Chain A
Amino acid sequence: MAIILEHVEYKYSEGTPMETDALHDVNLEIQDGEFIGLIGHTGSGKSTLIQHLNGLMRATSGDIRYNGSSIYAEGFSMKELRSKVGLVFQYPEHQLFEVDVFTDVCFGPKNQGLSKEETEERAKEALSLVGIGESYYKKSPFELSGGEKRRVAIAGVLAMKPEVLILDEPTAGLDPKGRDEILGQVVRLHREQGMTVILVSHSMEDVAKYVDRIMVMNHGELVFNDMPKAVFAHYKELEQMGLAAPQVTYIAHALKDAGFPMKTDVITVEEAEEAILCTLGKEREK
């Protein structure tokens, strides 16, 4: 099953002189179990787009289908949709509000109407998925580090057992190790639980390393929707959109321009290393 968007348009302040197009004719499909990267400069419409996916914003026109049924059809349960499509906002730790970590994570499932036992079981499972141990359960969220708070906030969404997890810049403001830890955990959720993941990110290096497919938004339109290598091959166009390619892609192009024969569709350090060694090795054999 899948999420399908057909001709989705969203206009802010429709019918007034302030009318602006935030989404323009967006068509896309997200299949079960995919790991997707969503990139675009500030104001490109990516946040507007993800808020449509769980019905927080309603398209001005066009249709969104979740597992075959239109989410705008009469009788469709938005509440259910929101528990199936979990959205982790930017700086989610600002939304922690309970007295301790465990109670905070329980809030979602409790609201879904689950029993106390089920709720607590869900909370424990979610916290263990993000690597937060029992010694943290009774701590106040204020006592945690930035990375820990963020993982607790993600657990709060996971406790609702979403089928799709959308993360809006989950690594902003974290140190490099913290970035790797959070993303490592997201990859595990994707692999082990088969969860569909949509990662909104400003880090091209992270996107290149983790996702199967990249969607690029620019001025409210979906301009690229392809495998990472294919998208980063358009690095010049990406730059014009305020984006970039990973640094290693630039290295590959610079080397090739200098007369070093190598493929230029490398997007991770490992790929670049292999490609360079390959060329040097061939030269040596001659």
Chain B
Amino acid sequence: MGIIKTKNLVYNYIKRDEEEKIEEVSEAVKNVSLDIKEGEFVAVLGHNGSGKSTLAKHMNALLLPTEGTIWIGGKDSLEEDNLWDIRQTAGMVFQNPDNQIIASVVEEDVGFGPENIGVPTDEIWKRVDECLKAVGMSAYRTHSPNRLSGGQKQRVAIAGVMAMEPKCIVLDEPTAMLDPNGRREVIRTVMELNEKKGITVILITHYMEEVIHADRIIVMDEGEIVMEGAPEEIFSRVEELKKYRLDVPQVTELAYELRKKGVPMRPCILTVEEFVTEIMDTYRKHSE
């Protein structure tokens, strides 16, 4: 069993009228089974309302399954006694940085989590040091969070989650509100945590460029997993992605269009470097 495993997971949002009678049931997640290995970097794509955030909220027991089971670090979230362990195994980072920061000084914000679970003071400071360093925010440790940029705030939020020493971080559109620089900072930080510290990362996003380095991409639609595979594989299915209201990075689209016009190209190009290599090959052949 991986660090996160679900079996036939179902979640229904239930709307009730004034007399508490059920008025409408909408199935947000339908019969999802997946297994995420420790250390994996998994990206979840899907349009608004596809069920990806609902699924993510199960990963640290913010929501509990209507049917089926989810195990986080081997613990079933339906058993109440497991709640603390689960929340410590999987930390969550949300979209809006302003809603996640509570202290008036950066270092206190990062130390808030471990203090709450009774970590000894020396150990708290050690964790604060390490986590701020890991997200590249040590220089700001005594600053006020409201003076930071969006990307910096989001990195502080990540450090706050890191300080709980989770094995897994779930990020729900962490870059949606950021400018290009902020987006780059956050994604770089997340990738480093995954590569250097071996933390399992589950990244939910609408930006296709952010997921090209993931180990695996999961595409959701109408509460179900409809595509799953390595980035090269997923992004070679351009038409199918568009059907699910998604997109591909510009470089992939350009390569796809050129290939349609008869320019020899490998089927799935994800980076500018790959693209340049391919075009230069063709160009040299032509000029010979």
Contacts and interface: CB of A to CB of B under 8 A. Distances in A.
A242 B181 contact: yes
A277 B246 CA distance: 26
Contacts of A273: 254, 257-258, 261
B286 A277 contact: no
A242 B179 contact: yes
A180 to B, nearest CB: 9
Contacts of A244: 180-181
A230 interface: no
Interface in B238-259: 242, 245-247, 249-251, 253-254, 257-258
Interface residues of B, number: 43
Interface residues of A, number: 41
B239 to A, nearest CB: 14
A247 B180 contact: no
B245 A269 contact: no
Interface string A241-275: 01110111011001100111000000001001100
Contact of B272 (A178, A250, A269): A250
A255 B279 contact: yes
Interface stretch (B62-70, B170-178, B193-201): B170-178
A219 B182 CA distance: 16
Contact of A42 (B50, B149, B283): B149
With a 10 A CB-CB cut-off, give which of A147, A205, A247, A277 has the most chain B CB atoms. A247
B177 to A, nearest CB: 6
A271 B275 CA distance: 16
A259 B280 contact: yes
B121 interface: no
A146 B245 CA distance: 14
Contacts of B149: 41-43, 242
Contact of B48 (A146, A269, A276, A279): A146
B276 interface: yes
Given A251-B276, A254-B272, A280-B263, A175 B181 contact: no
B251 A177 contact: no
Nearest to A286: B287
A181 to B, nearest CB: 9
With a 10 A CB-CB cut-off, give which of A146, A173, A243 has the most chain B CB atoms. A173
The 4 closest A-B pairs by CB, nearest first: A177-B245, A242-B181, A176-B247, A175-B47
24 contacts: A41-B181, A41-B182, A42-B151, A145-B49, A172-B177, A173-B95, A173-B176, A173-B177, A175-B50, A175-B245, A176-B206, A177-B246, A177-B247, A204-B180, A242-B149, A244-B180, A247-B209, A247-B250, A254-B275, A260-B279, A260-B280, A269-B257, A273-B258, A273-B261
Interface of B: 46-50, 95, 149-151, 173, 176-182, 206, 208-209, 242, 245-247, 249-251, 253-254, 257-258, 261, 263, 272-273, 275-276, 279-280, 282-283, 286-287
